[in-house]
Structure 1
Amino acid sequence: MNETLLKESAIQQQSSIELQLKKACKKIAPLWSLENFVAVNPYLGLLENSFESTAQYLSKIGGIQMTKPSNFYLKRLENKEILKKDIQAVLEERNNDDNVHEFLNRVKFNAEAEAKAPQIFTFTDFASEICDQDWQTFYVEKMAAWAASYFDKGQSIWNTSAAFDSMHASWKFEAQTDLSPEIQGLNNFREKVKALPEDPKEAAKWSLEYLGITEKYLPFYLHKLLLNVGGWSAYIAQLDWDSKLYKKENNQLIEFLEILICAEALYFQCLWSEVNPQWFEKIMTLSTTKNLEAIDSDLEDRLVLHEAFQKASQRSLIEKLNQKKNTKENTSQKKAQTIFCIDVRSEVFRRNLEKQDPQIETLGFAGFFGFPIYFEPLGSHKKRAQGPALIPMGSTVKECAHHKSDESTILKRLQLNQRIQKTWKSLKSGAVSCFGYVSPLGLSYVFKLISDSFGFSKPSEGLQIPEGNKAKNVSLEVDDIYGISPDERVAMAANALKTMSFTKDFAPFVFILGHGSSSVNNPHASGLDCGACGGNSGEANAKVAAAVFNDPYVRQKLKEEGISIPKKTIFLAGLHDTTTDEITVFENEVLSTSQKQELVEIKNSFKLAGKDTRNERAKRMSITNKVDQKVKRKGNDWSEIRPEWGLAGCDSFIIAPRQRTSSIDLQGKSFLHSYDWQSDKGFKILEAIMTAPMVVTSWINLQYFASSVDPKILGSGNKTLHNVTSGIGVIEGASGDLRVGLPLQSVHDGEQFQHEPTRLNVIIEAPIYAINEIIENNPSVKNLVDNGWIAILAMNEEGKVTERYLGFNKWEEI
């Protein structure tokens, strides 16, 4: 009987530990690799908590900041960007009895105080405090070096992961052969590793029992362990994310956490004589009973200032929108319609294009254009996901030569190029051949290096040939064998047109303009491409969409659904280069003589709008002369640390007809999604926008926010010090953890931040009851808006922003 009870107790204990491991892992936001650097909300696993409580929690557990220093806000107050009435409003909302004068006096007095250190400790944190060595840094470097080797995606010649069935087995083998821990002072470390159980769960259970961590402290301890190696934890979380997206069971992050626990226990065991275990128990107890529940009053004051800053920013946006005179939609015949990605960089180009030619209408839609596909480039057997990270991809579309007769020649050339590049890489990277490579061949790079440096030539971009360079020779295969089935095409086409409220009044030309960025020697290049296309150029999606909309079968079926596309309307794909603001149109369709003439005029409007956009963006880049030359050169310059500003500055997402925002200068800070609620029966389209594009734009906004308020921890550091590791991410310097977030140069110009830390303001033109219902029916959206991670504002039928969402189905008039 007693044996049975003991077994049941052991099972319950193990189950409790596994539950705590899962909870800790859910708090880690995923990190996509450099190949598809998708913007992600770094607070993703904490959205069930309010913004303010999360700020307090992260400050304690990892020293992570979610506000700017007080002086940032005081400067804004001095410049009257923040008004005292904004601060007073926040104090009243929080039932704070302070008046503004008392509050500001206290803030100014404490303004120079440094942010408090983390109050949650792992063993290696604690050992570093009381020993002569920095064991925490040593621990992180060892775990990161092993993870870099295990998860390597082909950057290393020798791969160590293939020989083992699990992470735990790989780590044990490496730890038993590595002499450096014992050299540093961890006596008999390898023997202790060998004695660990082979099963990772049993090993973790033993380790936790050995450390004697209290039940109350365990959740914080586990989360802190993951944060100490936060970059690799985030990357492994992304592997689990993808598995879950495609209905597969994968718990790699839990196994990684189990390894972190084991390593901590072994460090503790080896340092037992140096560190009194009672000290460790004492520090655990102090953290659990005293510090965790305490409110950091200085941080609380900064949160008040930050909320006042948020209100001020929101007020400025509302004033800008409400000052616009209400105009009726232009129902005259359009020369063309252009569908851009909702990306904030498109706002500038759209405004300038409409100014150049009012007969060209612009629309906004997520840049995958409703076609979540896998794309397989010509000559490659590796397909890539061309869609948002939130949804699974569908069919695979293969690239082929525009003229079938050319395909064999093109393929041979590509394959030969790949073989040469592979051999060349082996020669450069070989243990012996690299020495022979440098001496006789190194000098041959001198002239190329000089020409690249002065912009006379473009640095090599490796194996992948940019799609734009192949556009004249290559089109996309979209047929029953290689691409999307006829019924899927019809469904995708109908959904795309309905979601952007574009079901009638088609112009003779409809341009679907994906976007991509030009840069070289830039590990984070994919972060400047289309996030809705999985961190890739939107060219593939634009070509697929145009081909589908031109398909006679699709048009016939759409007509049966009430969407009649005239025979004279032709869809053309194009690419907006956000570095140079040039539009490339892919003319794979057969055009008549008159169509070609009309197309020349439209292309000229694209050209002029691009010039205006470059001139506008040049001011932000501090370029005052030779704008075209200098802006275009940025994409070819291997030493350029910021080829463009990307989405820095993004602060709002507007879901409304274009006439509500046309002619308003939103300064490239707004995501613009076309939407007409009166044609949205049942508000299913609005629900789709609020549960997908709105969530994605919140990810983008919060990634830029985090990289601005805490670039040291939530950003990826100084771009000039980056080294690519494992083909996955970057480290800063020679060793250490993967860096998450954006490089400092992506948000800071050397003198000041170019991204203001405001949370996303979402303006929706739709009835409030419909918005409320969507919020209530979608927990992920409800967490975002009720917990203050984004703000919701309602626009009326006259285009005026009239009400603000307060949370939990409550609104206030503006």
Structure 2
Amino acid sequence: MTEDDLHAAFHSAPAARRPATFGAFKEAIQTERPAPVALPTVADLARDAAAIDWPGVVGERISHWAAGHFDQGQALWASGRTDGTYAAWRVVATRDLTPEIAGLTGFARHVAEAPPKAEDAIIDCVAQLGLPRAALDSYFHRLLASLGGWSQLARHRLWQAELGGGSDASVTDLLAIRLIWEVALLRHFGAALAPQWQATRAAYAEPVCACPEDIIDALLQEAVERAAQRRLDALLTRRAPLPATPGRPTLQMAFCIDVRSEVFRRALESLDTGIRTLGFAGFFGLGIGHRRFASDIVEARLPVLLSPGVFTCAGEATPAVAKAELAARITARAHRAWGRFKLAAISSFAFVEATGPLYVAKLLRDGLGLTRNSAPEYLAPRPMQGLDLPTKMTMAMRVLKAMSLTAGFARLVLLAGHGASAVNNPHASALNCGACGGYSGEVNARLLASLLNDPEVRAGLVERGVIIPDDTLFLAALHDTTTDDVTIYAGDHPSPTHAEDIVRAERWLTSAGVLARGERALRLPRAQRARDILHRARNWAELRPEWALAGCQAFIAAPRSRTAGLDLAGRAFLHDYDWRRDEGFGVLELILTAPVVVASWISLQYYGSTVAPDVFGAGNKLLHNVTGGIGVVEGNGGPLRAGLPWQSVHDGERLTHEPLRLSVLIEAPREAAAGLLERHPEVRALFDNRWLHLLTLNEEGRVAWRYTGDLGWENSLRGTDGKTEPQPHADAGPGHSHSMVPGGLEVTS
């Protein structure tokens, strides 16, 4: 970060909401800010008054109950209640003596006397706490945040219900539960808390605004992000021209835009000038709900903001497959029954005494990292049934256009989904494909390959201007991001005439895997060479089988020629996009409204888990226990932990993820991007509220325009001193400026 970066950040903020001079800003940087302190709850005040950890007691009792109530199949004894979250809690709380033992006498009676409906209980509690209307938003948010992942799970249930046109009251019910605890504590401690609680109520009623320390932090955050953008711009500008390769590509391979693919794509392209790689969201534009072999669970293998439109299952509908599926189901049920027998109250101790020595071999195998990884599903997904030919052609055309792959096809085109092999890892879905809803991407890739190999679909595409040569074969592949091994599903579409092409591709992929593992080994703790990577995926005690998306900081939508050959260090989402082929900018609209949104979630998850790990992170992976089949807690209870474990962003000595808000770079006319933001206010809000940066690239691949919010832009190339001038727009009056600090606190003048 240079002084020019500090200057740019300083002048990007309104004059009324920054230090008086740049010198004052630099002086403020040197001053250590005090740690922020949240406004207390009644439980916090009671802790200070009685020297008893009442926030811990409250969190532990609610979490202990919530783990059983929200259980998704892990508990041996499910609660079985269906009359609502609040009602289910009252039944348990009126019989729970733990609060009484801790010193909160009369708590069970207090719960029994509470209103039977959550909404009435909230109204009653607000009155007893004496909360003014202005304090409710902040106070309610504070209480729900104190429950950690349980309130987030409840909000997720509401969101899921709303997708189907329904509703879910779990959030409101949890708020009522937490308020009842507050009232009980206030009643118990009475006058001892009165002065502090009166001042706290007034503080909650104050509007939320940025303090001077927040402003300095926001300017520093802006400066370090501008520094990263400047370095990226310099890298793009220094790109050497690619050597000309006339004729047909020797291999084309589409990868997910995931940052881990950048390392492998660069390694693969270095092996032969005829290799071309593409970047596209890993669900390959197919919104499917998939049922695995011998499973009744439908997995939504698409971005979670979308709903499946096509449903598939594994294996052809043949008697042999049906017989194998039945056998697999019987075996799975036997395993589940055996597992429950081992954990049952009547048999668990006797089981350990009698059979414990028999598990020595398994413990040794797991401890030495000899456990086999679960293999990808071997049965090809059944081709999409019930779709007519025009629908299939429309799907194929849409995907090919979105991939900017409508001409120049190679003989062999590989479509690589990605997944991760790891054992004993509750956060395994965070290593898989975000665009596939946390699942691996081979199913989508295999379905798309079948679609593009369909002779009728190809014939129909010719009428729409896309001619796929007769000798072009599409095959699916799976890129294992933990081991950098690639599996080609050649058996899905046997083609003896392509045998040599496949063998050559496999040889290239093997070599690229060695190169990628060698690069990744330099970043992973306790890994010195490429072969160390393979062992990590099998080791049940390995805390960091891979870094996943740690380090992500940019999303680039541009032709591959802009980034080919550049070492982006596995920090950029790379989406192939050529705006000259995008009539009406429909593909750009898709990119901004789907892949960019998913990338923003990933970026913000890593950001929050890094800068505020106690609130937004999952804590120490060494202490995790899975609860309810939902998530993890630290130790034997407490709040459900969301976000990422500390080991996913920290290597034991320093952060491995640099907490930067994602910079979205798009090579397209600024006017096109502005028009799409105006049409999609929910996407525009991500940039207006400064959760993301938006920049456009010019014809030379340089950063030309920066979005400043409220549909305003500034020219990044104007001037030679690194300073920029804001570009006025229709809504901007004289002297108008607009900025945001992290967290969405608006700074405006």
Letter in 1 for 2:200: I
Q: Which amino acid aligns with 2:235?
A: K
Which of residues 27, 40, 60 in structure 2 aligns to 1:105? 27
Compared CA separation, residues 104 and 571, structure 1 to 2 (3 A): same
Deviates more, 1:301-310 or 1:316-325: 301-310
Mapped to 1, the partners of 2:495 and 2:424 lie a distance apart of 42
The aligned counterpart of 2:87 is 169
Match of 1:185 among 103, 107, 112: 103
Residue of 352, 363, 380 corresponding to 2:295: 380
Counterpart residue number, 2:747: none
Which residue in 1 is equivalent to 2:729? none
**Of the candidates 532, 535, 539, which is equivalent to residue 633 of structure 1?**
535
Preserved CA contact (<8 Å) 1:246 1:392: no
Distance 1:92 1:267, change over 3 A: same
Which secondary structure does the structure 2 equivalent of 1:707 belong to? helix
Matches within 5 A, 1:476-491: 476-480=381-385, 484=387, 486-491=389-394
Distance 2:35 2:19 in 1: 25
Pairing of 1:404-803 with structure 2 (within 5 A): 404=318, 406-458=320-372, 466-468=374-376, 470-471=377-378, 474-480=379-385, 484=387, 486-622=389-525, 625-628=528-531, 630-803=532-705
Q: Which amino acid aligns with 2:63?
A: A
8 Å CA contact 1:514, 1:574 repeated in 2: yes
Verify the 8 A CA contact 1:648 1:755 in the aligned structure 2.
yes
Flag the structure with more relative contact order, 1 or 2, with Cα contacts below 8 A and sequence separation at least 6.
1
| 1:114 pairs with 2:34 | yes
The answer as to whether partners of 2:697 and 2:703 remain within 8 angstroms in 1 is yes
Do 2:420 and 2:431's aligned partners in 1 also have CA atoms closer than 8 Å? yes
Separation in 1, partners of 2:427, 2:366: 20
Residue segments in structure 1 that go unaligned for 5+ positions in a row: 1-81, 460-465
2:178 paired residue number: 260
Alignment of 1:53-452 (within 5 A): 82-94=1-13, 95=15, 96=18, 98-108=20-30, 110-111=31-32, 113-118=33-38, 120-160=39-79, 162-269=80-187, 271-273=188-190, 275-277=192-194, 279-289=196-206, 292=207, 295-326=210-241, 332-400=247-315, 404=318, 406-452=320-366
Partner SS state of residue 408, structure 2: coil
CA contact 1:475–1:588 (8 Å) conserved in 2: no
Q: Is the 8 A contact 1:722 1:730 kept in 2?
A: yes
Q: Is the 8 A contact 1:124 1:136 kept in 2?
A: yes
Aligned CA distance change for structure 1 residues 768 and 443 (closer, same or farther; 3 Å)? same
Q: CA deviation at 1:433?
A: 0.6
Count of residue pairs the alignment pairs up: 713
* Further displaced range: 168-177 or 450-459: 450-459
Counterparts of 1:293 and 1:605 in 2: how far apart (Å)? 57
**Cα distance 1:488–1:257, how it changes in 2: closer, same or farther (>3 A)?**
farther
SS of aligned partner of 2:315: strand
Secondary structure at the counterpart of residue 270 of structure 2? helix
TM-score normalised by L of structure 2: 0.91
The amino acid across from 2:501 in the alignment is E
Q: Which moved more, 1:217-226 or 1:182-191?
A: 182-191
Say if 2:703 and 2:716, in contact at 8 Å, map to a contact too.
Answer: no
Measured against aligned partners, the alpha-carbon deviations of 1:513-564 in whole angstroms (never above 9, x if no partner) come to 0000011011101100001101001111111111111222322332232222
Q: Summarize deviations over 1:459-503 as a string: whole Å, max 9, x none.
A: 8xxxxxx452x42xx11111436xx55444333222211111111
Give the whole-Å Cα distance in 2 for the aligned partners of 1:272 and 1:622. Answer: 50
Q: What is the deviation of 1:651?
A: 0.6
Identity of aligned residues (%): 38
From the superposition, tell whether residues 553 and 248 of structure 1 become closer, same or farther in structure 2 (CA, over 3 Å).
Answer: farther
Gap change, CA 1:663 and 1:234, over 3 Å in 2: same
Deviation, structure 1 residue 192: 1.9
Q: C-alpha separation between the residues in 2 aligned to 1:612 and 1:626?
A: 10
- Map of 1:19 onto structure 2: none
Q: How much has 1:781 moved relative to structure 2?
A: 1.7
- Cα shift at 1:276: 4.6
- Aligned residue for 2:35, secondary structure, equals coil
Shift, 1:435, TM fit: 1.1
Larger CA deviation: 796-805 vs 773-782: 796-805
Counterpart CA distance in 1 for 2:319 and 2:130 is: 71
Kindly tell me: are residues 488 and 165 of structure 1, through their superposed partners in 2, closer, same or farther at Cα, counting changes over 3 Å? farther
Report the CA distance between 1:423 and its aligned residue: 1.7
Secondary structure at the counterpart of residue 522 of structure 2: helix
Other-structure match for 1:49: none
Contact persistence 1:345–1:646 (CA under 8 A):
yes
Structure 2 counterpart of 1:348, which letter? V
Aligned counterparts of 1:640 and 1:293: Cα–Cα separation in 2: 43
Task: Output the CA distance in 1 between the equivalents of 2:364 and 2:527.
Answer: 26
Moved more, 406-415 or 524-533: 406-415
Indicate if the aligned counterparts of 1:452 and 1:458 stay in contact, CA closer than 8 A.
no
Contact 1:328–1:659 (Cα < 8 Å) also in 2: no
Distance 1:534 1:688, change over 3 A: same
Contact conserved, 2:139 with 2:204, CA < 8 A, in 1? Answer: no
Whether the 8 Å CA contact 1:677–1:686 is kept in 2: the answer is yes
Cα distance in 2 for residues equivalent to 1:785 and 1:243: 28
Q: Give the deviation of 1:623 after TM superposition.
A: 5.5
Aligned-partner Cα distance in 2 for 1:235–1:488: 37
Does the aligned pair in 2 maintain the 1:231–1:739 contact within 8 Å?
A: yes
With the length of structure 1 as denominator, give the TM-score of the two structures.
0.84
Contact 1:121 1:221 in 2 (8 A): no
Note the alpha carbon deviations across 1:301-338, whole angstroms, 9 max, x for none. 22222221111111101100111145598562012211
| Counterpart mapping for 1:28-67 below 5 A | none
User: For structure 2, which runs of at least 5 residues remain unmatched after alignment?
Assistant: 718-749
Question: CA offset at residue 275 of structure 1?
Answer: 3.7
**CA displacement at 1:206 relative to structure 2:** 1.4
How far off is 1:733 after superposition? 1.4
Cα deviation, residue 697, structure 1 = 0.7
* Corresponding residue number in structure 2 for 1:56: none
Q: Secondary structure at the match of 1:177?
A: coil
SS of the counterpart of 2:465? coil
User: Residue 114 of structure 1 aligns to which amino acid in structure 2?
Assistant: P
> Are the equivalent residues in 2 in contact too, given 1:124–1:135 (CA < 8 A)?
yes
CA RMSD of aligned residues (A): 2.0
Amino acid at match of 1:202: D
Specify whether residues 676 and 107 from structure 1 end up closer, same or farther in structure 2 by C-alpha distance, changes over 3 A only.
closer
- Secondary structure of 1:596's match? helix
Assess if the C-alpha contact under 8 Å between 2:449 and 2:474 holds in 1: yes
Contact 1:368 1:386 in 2 (8 A): yes
Three-state SS of the structure 1 residue aligned to 2:279 is strand
SS in 1 for 2:137: helix
1:251 to partner: Cα distance: 3.7
